[in-house]
Structure 1
Amino acid sequence: MPRFDKGSAAHGPVVQAITDQGFSVDGGIYRALLLTPERAEQWPAPTLDALTIDDLATLLRLEPSPEFLLLGTGPTLKFPPRALVRALDDRGIGIEAMDSRAAARTWGLLRAEERWIAAALMPLV
């Protein structure tokens, strides 16, 4: 996992490591995780096939709305449900799906650029 010097790091939560138990953020371990530029929180993630806009309500309350949502789909890349993609598109929010490890790395890179994004990382096991 890349590390950034203090001059290039964005404020807010960053995934520092990925362990067998989950994602390490600010001393806590999260099996599944919701991230905003302001906070990280444990997420009772549904299965990908069951994921709906309601499961992302915390992220959608972000003001202003996120540029897009990074969706970590677990240990491998899978496509999110079409209904979810449409619901996000209706709100003007794009979605970028990738495996959860790649999403955690991408989160750190984009936050270092101070991008206003949100992420939902599904469990790795």
Structure 2
Amino acid sequence: MKLHQASGQGRNLFTGYGEGHVLINQVRHDGNLVVTPDEVLPWAPASFEELASEHFALLLDLTPEVVLFGSGARLRFPHPRLTAVLTNAGIGVEVMDTQAACRTYNILLAEDRRVIVALFS
């Protein structure tokens, strides 16, 4: 599916997604990612079952206001102890499927929120 281009010139925007991939500024990315307005980074957990609190702790260095967690094609919630490092730091964590996370990221970015998204493709 393609998304409509929004304002946010020079920033990472999701422009599409499909099974196992996302498009960021029209460039295809496969695999698990962390996306900020300025960076696209690989994200280490190989599967949902391998998620650990350390994977979320690494996101603290990016100083987000809110972290969107895209759980893949279907909605799955990580155990709260895994995301506690973020919530204890006052960072909002929202869980949704990856497609919803892509759309929500674009909206929050357009509102100039400090948002990052951690995605399972």
How far apart in 1 are the matches of 2:57 and 2:37? 15
Indicate the larger mover: 104-113 or 41-50.
Answer: 41-50
How far apart in 1 are the matches of 2:58 and 2:35? 9
Indicate the larger mover: 27-36 or 111-120.
Answer: 27-36
Gap regions ≥5 residues in structure 1: none
Give 2:4's aligned residue: 3
- What's the secondary structure of 2:101's corresponding residue? helix
Give 2:17's aligned residue: 18
- What's the secondary structure of 2:105's corresponding residue? helix
- Report the Cα offset of residue 86 of structure 1: 1.9
Letter in 2 for 1:47: S
- Report the Cα offset of residue 4 of structure 1: 3.6
Give 1:29's aligned residue: 29
What percentage of aligned pairs have identical amino acids?
30
> CA 1:81 to 1:46, structure 2 compared with 1: closer, same or farther past 3 Å?
farther
- Report the Cα offset of residue 50 of structure 1: 3.0
Once the two structures are superposed, what CA deviation does each residue of 1:33-79 show, in whole Å capped at 9, x if it has no partner? Answer: 101122112223333243223213543212xx211110001111111
How far apart in 2 are the matches of 1:58 and 1:32? 14
Give 1:89's aligned residue: 87
- Report the Cα offset of residue 10 of structure 1: 5.6
Greater than 3 Å deviation, 4+ residue runs? none
> CA 1:21 to 1:36, structure 2 compared with 1: closer, same or farther past 3 Å?
same
> CA 1:21 to 1:73, structure 2 compared with 1: closer, same or farther past 3 Å?
closer
Asked if 1:68 corresponds to 2:44, the answer is: no
- Report the Cα offset of residue 92 of structure 1: 1.5
> CA 1:85 to 1:57, structure 2 compared with 1: closer, same or farther past 3 Å?
closer
Give 1:41's aligned residue: 41
